[in-house]
Amino acid sequence: MTTMTNPAPDTFTTGSAERRATADRAARRWRHARRALGAVAALAAIALPALTGPYLITLAATAIVLALLAMSTQLLAVAGLPSFGQTTYLGIGAYTAALLAAAGITNGPALLAAAAGTAALAAAVLAPFVLRTRGVTFLMVTVMIQGLAVAVAVHWTSVTGGDEGRHTPAVTLWPGDPLTSTPVIYWYTLTAFAAVGVGTAWLMRSRLVLLLRAHAGHEPRMTALGHRATLELGAGYAAAAAISGAGGALLITINTYVSPADISFGVAAAGFAAAALGTALAGFPTMTGALVAAVAIVVVRDWAGSDGTGPLLLGLLLLTVPYLRPAVLRLRARRVNRPGAAA
């Protein structure tokens, strides 16, 4: 779905026109194949409740929340910021939705908007401080914020319900009844996810993302042109938080419950890893990569590892994929470069 308009790195040298044309044809074929694959995946996702039982449907819904977390992380990776703490904003979104639902506002889209908005607002407040760092220090600060967010969720019992968490009434669709059947909740979640996905795709083509990529590439150049790093990266940080916050609202929709476990180190790690694996496989940060990796992580951790070996399998996945990167890049380069690939 939402591939950023990033050109593949150095796949062919500007040589003969014929060679370039061949490469173009190969790239076009790859684009077509990817579109077909995407369509099949989308159809499968929609038809899932007709194909399987409630267990797999709930798993798919989990994958959607993780995918939003991964996309949120990936948006910051595009800006050159390795963030571990996007669960903080997932948590802010989820608790906002939970509090609103408890207060009687159970309308799904309204909760989604409120969650995304609150998360973005919180991110905008924290941005000036977090964005004083870059690189590994930024990573450190975000890991720490993740940990502090869990601590706050555990100790601020009057708002969060502490370790016990908060139960919420079922979400409604205006003007409908509460969503209680698993397939209906799933379809609503999928639709909401598609809406956020379209918004993200639009964002990836916007000038803001161009600026984020430029800050990642050469910050002194941007400053010398008058761009304010904190302001522009802060806008990206808030946008990423909104995506995560939307994930929080969907979490409430699916589980009608939220607790500190939903924003734990393990969840943050899965979101961070999904974005990183997506990047490792594509060679540069793409939203599609993050999405695919999020699904792969849920498959490995929750489906294949449902007998308790989940963390082990996930650990092994994380230990192998980064080392495959050179092979993947070689493969991509060869596919595009192969003479007569499209003949």
Q: Which of residues 254-273 bind other proteins (CB under 8 A)?
A: 264-265, 269, 272-273
Separation between Cα atoms, residue 332 and residue 320, nearest integer Å: 18
Separation between Cα atoms, residue 4 and residue 288, nearest integer Å: 9
Q: Find residue 257's DSSP bridge partners.
A: 167
Query: How big is the site for other proteins, counted in residues (CB under 8 A)?
Result: 79
Q: Which of residues 89-148 bind other proteins (CB under 8 A)?
A: 129-130, 132-137, 139-141, 143-148
Residue 222 tokens, joined:
């941007």
Instruction: Indicate which single residue of 17, 224, 327, 343 sits in contact with other proteins (rule: CB under 8 A).
Output: 224
Question: Taking the complex as a whole, how short is the minimal distance between the CB of residue 276 and other proteins, in angstroms?
Answer: 4
Q: Which stretch binds other proteins (CB under 8 A): 15-23, 173-181, 192-200, 220-228?
A: 220-228
210 in contact with other proteins (CB under 8 A): yes
| For other proteins, the closer CB: 45 or 267 | 267
User: Is 14 in contact with 21 (CB distance < 8 Å)?
Assistant: no
Residue 234 tokens, joined:
């802060």
Residue 257 tokens, joined:
């419950």
DSSP 238-294: HHHHHHHHHHHHHHHHHHSEE-GGGGSHHHHHHHHHHHHHHHHHHSS--HHHHHHHH
39 in contact with other proteins (CB under 8 A): no
Scored b (16 or more CB within 10 A) or e, 160-196 reads bbeeebbebeebbeeeeeebeebeebbbbbbebbeeb
| For other proteins, the closer CB: 62 or 83 | 83
| For other proteins, the closer CB: 55 or 129 | 129
| For other proteins, the closer CB: 52 or 137 | 137
Q: For other proteins, what does the binding mask look like between residues 177 and 206, x meaning CB under 8 A?
A: -----------------------------x
| For other proteins, the closer CB: 38 or 322 | 322
| For other proteins, the closer CB: 15 or 340 | 15
228 in contact with other proteins (CB under 8 A): yes
| For other proteins, the closer CB: 37 or 210 | 210
10 in contact with other proteins (CB under 8 A): yes
Q: Please provide the size of the chain in residues.
A: 343
C-alpha atoms less than 13 angstroms from C-alpha of 184 in its C-beta half-sphere: 11
Instruction: Indicate which single residue of 26, 45, 63, 77 sits in contact with other proteins (rule: CB under 8 A).
Output: 77
